[in-house]
Amino acid sequence: MTESGAELSSGARPGSAPGARRRRIALTGFMGCGKSTVGHLLARQLGWHFYDLDEMIESRAALSIPAIFEKLGEPAFREIESEALERALGEVEERQRACVLALGGGTIVQPQNLAALRHFGFCIIWLRCEMEVLLARCAGIRNRPLFQDESSFRRLYAQRLPFYQAADASVDASAPPRRVVEEILSLRPAGALLAS
């Protein structure tokens, strides 16, 4: 058992009681797809709590994400990311919070992270976005250590696709954030999970 209480192996699956509604959404997708912006708006519209995993990582490590990559390396970043996720999920469960959680672009690549999200009953939504839009949004922004150049960006996207495709639902995130939120709210069957 962790200090946050996010134990995966014991007891009934959280939120799995008959008739229980899953009011837990996790947003996944590649860098630049708008997880934080859309997540923030969606949570505000629903009146749910908003968690931003990248922000939690930065505050846990007391370092920016580029500094974590530079000083500690990507394997250490992935460990911190898993710990931050575990803490967030523990808090959601403990407080029985309805929430929207913006993941990092690589979070669901680690199988234990995906398993934890599923265990805690999250509906995982992939913000699909055209490559040209992702490139335009990420170009010139310096806080993404995995954005080196266009060809490695495209390669990483191709590697990530199967993981994103495992999401419960997807929406077109090339649209403006408010439209993306509307699309999420109209999703079926995921929409059924949003009802309070």
The count of residues interacting with ligand S3P (CB under 6 A) is: 10
104 binds ligand S3P (CB under 6 A): yes
* Residues 81 and 113: beta-carbon distance below 8 Å: yes
d(CA 5, CA 41): 28
User: Residue 16 or 112: which CB sits closer to ligand S3P?
Assistant: 112
Peptide bond into 145 cis (omega under 30): no
Question: Which residue of 106, 114, 181, 190 would you call a contact of ligand S3P, by CB under 6 A?
Answer: 106
Partners of residue 100 on adjacent β-strands: 25, 50
Q: Tell the smallest beta-carbon distance from residue 134 to ligand S3P (Å).
A: 10
Give me the residues paired with residue 171 across strands: 127
In the block, residue with structure tokens 């996944």: 28
The gap from C-alpha 29 to its chain's centroid, in whole angstroms, comes to 8
Instruction: Tell me the per-residue interface mask from 26 to 65 with ligand S3P, x by CB under 6 A, - otherwise.
Output: -----x---x------------------x----------x
Does the footprint of ligand S3P cover residue 108 (CB under 6 A)?
A: no
- In sign, the C-alpha dihedral spanning 12, 15, 16, 20 is positive
Nearer to ligand S3P, 94 or 130 (CB): 130
**What does the binding site for ligand S3P look like in residue numbers (CB under 6 A)?**
31, 35, 54, 65, 104-106, 144-146
